[in-house]
Amino acid sequence: MLNILCFRIDLDLKAYLVSSRRLPWYDMDLMTDFRKAVDILRSNLILFLPALIIFYLVPVVLMVVAVYVFVPIVIVAFQNQSPISALLQGSLVGITVVVVLAILAYLYVISGAANMNRKAVLTGSTSMSDFWEGCRKYFGKIFVGVLFLGAVYGVIIAVGMISTVAMILPSIPNISSPEAVPAPLAGTYEPEKLTKLMNWLIEIFRMLSVPVGVWLALFTLSGILFLFTLFWVQALVVEDIGILGAIGSSIRFVRHNFKTTLGIVSLWIIAQGFTSAIFPGGGTGGGGPGYGYGFAFPAPLQAIFHLLIATFFTLLLYTVYMDRVGKI
């Protein structure tokens, strides 16, 4: 089935190459790397294994862990004189444990998958031994790198929250005082009350407008940061360098290959949108006749497409990076 899907992608790509040559964002080098990634994936179906582990095995393991963590918490909490308080405190600890284990598990698999993708692009083949090698070699670096970038995003969020509070607090007395709050409108037309209501609403919108602009700017900054650090794991694995060096290499790579990076992101958005369109309602054709272009695919096909998209675009990032830096 996966071979058929990869072959279908190859045929669609040939038609796409012919039809898209006149588009302003068309990048022949990206399309060449796209075809390389298709050929590599078709010859190395084992590259689907990390995605299978991430999508299916890890969630099941985490659910089992959650049962063994939360059942004792519930039992102990209801033996306490203050069960609700004990349950809330225990749940906070339990959630922390499960979240930390989830992050570690996902990053461990990503570390192994990183080395598999590197070997597949570099040599044309890969195996599970490459997976375990990547787990041992890159897990620590990727973990610290994720913590560093998470801290950066955390600072951005903190700036947004502090700015919002600082801008909203001074305006609260102006909209909450008895003189400012309008009285309920009666059934008859009362111009004074209506004017007071409109002024009150305008004051609320004025209070919220600046924080909305701040969050929009911070969201844009986060998007730019994500775009320019898109290749940091690839740089870390391919160049075998440190975390800050990998982030710097990713920024330089995106700066010199900005159109290619936008092309990859655009293709990923198109793939995700296409999958969501033809698999409405979780892949069961939900929404009635005509919804999702009239298709009613079973859920397993949706799972295959999500698996294919995740695996292929991960491989494409390695293919593009290694091609542009002269590793292949």
In a domain, 152, yes or no: no
pLDDT of residue 294: 45
| Average pLDDT across the chain, whole number | 83
pLDDT of residue 137: 95
Name every residue whose Cβ is closer than 8 Å to that of residue 104 and which is 6 or more positions away in sequence.
143
Phi, psi of 144 (to 5 degrees): -65, -40
d(CA 161, CA 163): 5
Residues 196-226: b if buried by 16+ CB within 10 A, e if exposed: bbeeeeeeeeebeeebeebeeebeeeeeebe
Binned at pLDDT 50, 70 and 90, residue 328 comes out as: confident
Q: What is the pLDDT of residues 108-151, one digit of tens each?
A: 999 999 999 999 999 999 999 999 999 999 999 999 999 999 99
Q: How many domains does the chain have?
A: 2
Binned at pLDDT 50, 70 and 90, residue 169 comes out as: confident
Exposed (0-12), middle (13-18) or buried (19+): which is 154, by Cβ within 10 Å? exposed
Which domain-ending residue is among 72, 95, 126? 126
- Which range of residues forms the domain containing residue 268? 1-13+26-43+257-328
pLDDT above 90 coverage of the chain, percent: 59
Question: 305: how many CB neighbours lie within 10 A of its CB?
Answer: 20
Tokens of 70: 């939360």
pLDDT of residue 17: 44
pLDDT of residue 83: 86
CB 111 within 8 A of CB 130: no
In a domain, 300, yes or no: yes
d(CA 92, CA 78): 16
In a domain, 179, yes or no: no
Task: Identify the DSSP state of 12.
Answer: H
| pLDDT higher than threshold 90 for residue 198 | no
Which domain-ending residue is among 64, 93, 126? 126
